[in-house]
Each structure stands twice: as C-alpha cells, then as structure tokens.
Chain A
Amino acid sequence: MRVKSLQCRICKKEFQAELNYVCDECFGPLDVIYNFDEINLTKNIISEREKNLWRYNELLPIENKKNIVDIGAGYTPLHKAKKLAEKIGIKELYIKNDTVNPSFSFKDRPASIAVSKCQELGIWAVGSPSTGNLASATAAHAARAGIPCYIFIPYDIESAKISQAQIYGAHIIPVNGTYDDANRLASYAGDEYNIGIVNVNVRAYYVEGSKTLAFEVCEQLGWLAPEHVIVPTGSGALLCAIQRGFREFNKIGLIKEEKIKISSAQPEGCSPIVDAIQNNSEMIKPVKKPNTIAKSLAIGEPGDGIFAVNTVKKSGGYGEKVNNDEIREAIRLLASTEGIFTEPGGAVSIAVLQKLVNQGKINSDERTVCYVTGNGLKAPEAAYIQPPKFSIVEPRREVLQNIIRK
C-alpha cells in the first residue's frame, strides 16, 4: 500500500486511510502519509510515462489504477517568459500555465485525485463548494466517472463559470451568501448525505493533486527547483501543497534543493493570509464580505490560512496584495507579452511579482516561477473596467490605410 496512513497535522495521531479529514483527538486537519520506503520513482521512470499528472502516481494516494478518473489534467506548459521578464525587470521568469487544463484551471488536478479516491472508497456522489473553478473541475470529473455531482456556489459568481459547471450535468445550488456560506452548506451535505465533498471530507486526498504543480515545474526545469515561486492564494491549500511537493521530490532524491522561497499573492479586498504575514501575526483575521474582481480567491475564512502563513515565513518568502487596477493591468501585461490570457485570480501572481521586484525583494537573477491558475475566458468581463468599443468598418480596401501601420 503506498498510503501508510492519514496523520493529524497538529498532534501527529495516525488514522487508517479512509474517508476522514479531522483528528478526533484535537480536531486538527489530516494529511496523507506515504510509505516512502516502498516508493520507487526515478527520473527515467517518470520520463517514459504519459504527459499528465498521473506520471507521478506513486506519490498520489490512489492504490488501484482502475479507480483513476482522468480527463487529461496536468503536465501543462512551463513557459519561459522572456518578454515579460524584461518588462518586469528580472532575468529568468517562467509561467506555469494551468489555464490550459481540461476545465481550464488548476483545479482539475485536485479534482482528479478526489473523484478517483471517491471511486476507490465507494462513495456514491461527489460535490464541492466553489467560487467557480472547482465547480467545473469536479463536475467534469464526475461526468467522466458517471456519478452524481452537487455544486454549491455563491449566487453571484461569473456567469461563464456557472454555465460551464452546469453543462457537465452537475446539480447547481446557488447560495444567497458568500463562498464561506456555500462551504458551510456543502459541509452539511457531505455529513448528512454521505457525499464526497472534494475539498471538505475528501480534503486530505484532494490536496495531493496540487502537489503536482511542484513536481512538474522541477521536471520541466530539467530536474532543478526554482529559487522563488509566487502562488495565488485563496484558502492556502495550494500554497501548502506546492511546498509539500518540493519537499517530497527532495526526499526521494529527484531534486537537490531544499529551500525554495514561496510567496503568497492575494487580492486587496480579501487578503487575510497576506495581512497575517505582513503583520507578523499568528492569527488569521477572516474577511466577512470579500470584495475583489479576483473572485476565485475570495475565500474570507481560509481553511489552511495559518499553515500557509507558516509555510511562507519558513521558506523566506513574502506576502503581498494587489488592487483591482493592478490585477487588470497584470492580465493585460501577461496577454500582450506572452500570449497567455488569465482570469484575475491567476493575474494576481503576476501583479505581486511586479510589486516584489519593485520592492527589491526578488533579486533580478532569481529563477522565478509564477503560477497562473485559471483561464481568462472564465471571467472575460473582469479584464476591463468598461467593455472595449470597436468602430465597425465597411468591407472596402480603402478603410485599411487608416488602420494598419507598418
């Protein structure tokens, strides 16, 4: 068995690897612990496998391959961003472009693991609370698995995200409240109806999918770790999973580097983790009504908040936040320099990168990776304060001389 146990992050008590996410001793969250002595995963083995997240399957918590639900997530491009690097003022910058996943966000990674684990545990239905991206990722994987899916969303998320999740056949439940209200209702549904709520009662397994964002970056850099990564941060789960990914690759000898700076990027209007980092606080002050165009990061009560704060501090990274104008500018900058169109949540990492470089907190020669986590078509209206206006032209050759300039 590759999974040894689930272990409490706080008191270290161990549990069988079943459907469980909270320690009964201290109510701490549970993490998957692997039998590392039994893992045989080398660079050669990995390089011969299909280019998706399952190429690292020995470090993922699915025991039997027949339970894998895969729609092709992962092994997304790591793009060397030369023009953007020059604009921002650093020498070596890479964009981990998760906009191109099957449901167009990084959430396909943890959703694939979670829905697979639900198949393995014989759970009849899955679901998730979501600001949009996880809704589609869960619904798409549930469709592939042929099982019911229940999605709990704040009623006012972007319409493209609602349409997308619904088209996969999920039951959409718009909640008259914030994401945190939707999360609470979903938790209740998981309890009462034995539904696998992927980021709640399946969470210990779910977060393992996000580790692959660290694995792939190392492999794609030629088995080299980055020196600094910038992570868009909502709940903190992605940031913590990336750190765990680097740690596990180091543990099994696939990378030599042990210390990689991890910086948290949040939007103003919902920055509880960054505020705790900047105030050197050990307490997360939740945000009652998040107010940002980066709706995918509008998590006012971040479940992994304090763990993300500790991870950033121990790594030597920073926390920084950016306003709506800075986010819009970052969307435009990334698109116009590197041809990547990201939604506001993904652009936060680019905007924060610019800020940290301007503040002198990132050296110009640091090998830096920005994680860009969701596709711009998920929230196209957010890229503009006012929608762009175009002048319609007659289909005559003469009009071109006023438009095209060599």
Chain B
Amino acid sequence: MSQVKIFIPLVMSSATNGEREFLIEGNTVKDIIKNLSEKYGKSFENKILDKSGNPKPIINIYINNENIKFLNELSTELNDNDEILFLPAVSGG
C-alpha cells in the first residue's frame, strides 16, 4: 500500500474538515478517493465523482503535477511520496 500526500485547495477544504495537506494510503487514485470518503463522508466522493463513478469534468486530479486524464485515470497506480492535488477545473478566460 503506497502512502501519498494529499493537497486540498482552500476553496474545497470544507469537504475535508478544513484539512488541506495530509497523508493517506492507497494503491490507485480510486483507492485514495474511497479512503477519503471513509474518512470525511460519502459526500466527498459525491463531489468528486459523477453517478457513473468517473471524475466530474469540473474537477481536475493531478499526481505529481500530471493530470490523471493523461495517465490511467482513476486506475493510475501510486507510489510512496506521490503528491495528489485536487483542483476545481477553473482556467483560462
């Protein structure tokens, strides 16, 4: 089981009881989201994933600054000390 570091921006931190940087375990991104839901409630998963279990288009998930859409999506495997960032999909203008 890999131990990874999670970063949550201020604007999303109400979903993690205000916690913004912390460690969690999981082998894939899907594991991490499941573990975060166990820790902070099912509402966390409902905010990140749509009804089909895919990441919502309004959220980007990065591993070591790489969008998981360019990796293996939720099945992307994780290594120890990987950094996972959840970010609202807000860019350009």
Residues of A within 8 A of B (CB): 10, 20-22, 24-29, 107, 110, 129, 134, 179-181, 183-184, 187-188, 191, 198-201, 203, 206-207, 210, 234-238, 283-286, 288, 299, 301-306
Contacts and interface: CB of A to CB of B under 8 A. Distances in A.
A181 B90 contact: no
Contacts, number: 98
A285 B69 contact: yes
B92 A237 contact: yes
B92 A302 contact: yes
Contacts of A184: 62, 65, 85, 87
Secondary structure class of chain B's binding surface, majority of residues: mixed
Given A27-B58, A29-B58, A285-B69, A21 B9 contact: no
5 contacts: A27-B88, A180-B67, A184-B87, A199-B90, A302-B91
Contact of A199 (B9, B65, B85, B91): B91
A123 to B, nearest CB: 14
A322 B56 CA distance: 29
Given A27-B47, A235-B93, A238-B93, A22 B57 contact: no
A283 B57 contact: yes
A207 to B, nearest CB: 7
A191 B69 contact: no
A200 B90 contact: yes
B75 to A, nearest CB: 17
B55 to A, nearest CB: 10
B74 to A, nearest CB: 14
Contacts of A235: 91-93
B57 A288 contact: no
Nearest to A188: B9
A27 B91 CA distance: 15
Nearest to B66: A288
B57 A306 contact: yes
A320 to B, nearest CB: 19
Given A180-B91, A284-B57, 4 more contacts: A180-B67, A184-B87, A188-B9, A203-B93
Interface of B: 9-12, 14-15, 46-48, 56-60, 62, 65, 67, 69-70, 85, 87-93
Contacts of A24: 14-15
Contact of B91 (A28, A107, A210, A299): A299
A134 B91 CA distance: 12
Given A27-B56, A191-B11, A286-B69, A303 B90 contact: yes
Contacts of B57: 283-284, 305-306
Contacts of A199: 90-93
Contacts of A305: 57, 89
Contact of A301 (B10, B46, B47, B60): B60
B67 A28 contact: no
A107 B92 CA distance: 11
Contacts of B10: 191
A302 B12 CA distance: 20
B9 to A, nearest CB: 5
A107 B11 CA distance: 25
A155 to B, nearest CB: 15
Contacts of B67: 180, 286, 288, 301
A299 B92 contact: yes
A46 B14 CA distance: 42
Nearest to A235: B92
A237 B11 contact: no
Nearest to B54: A283
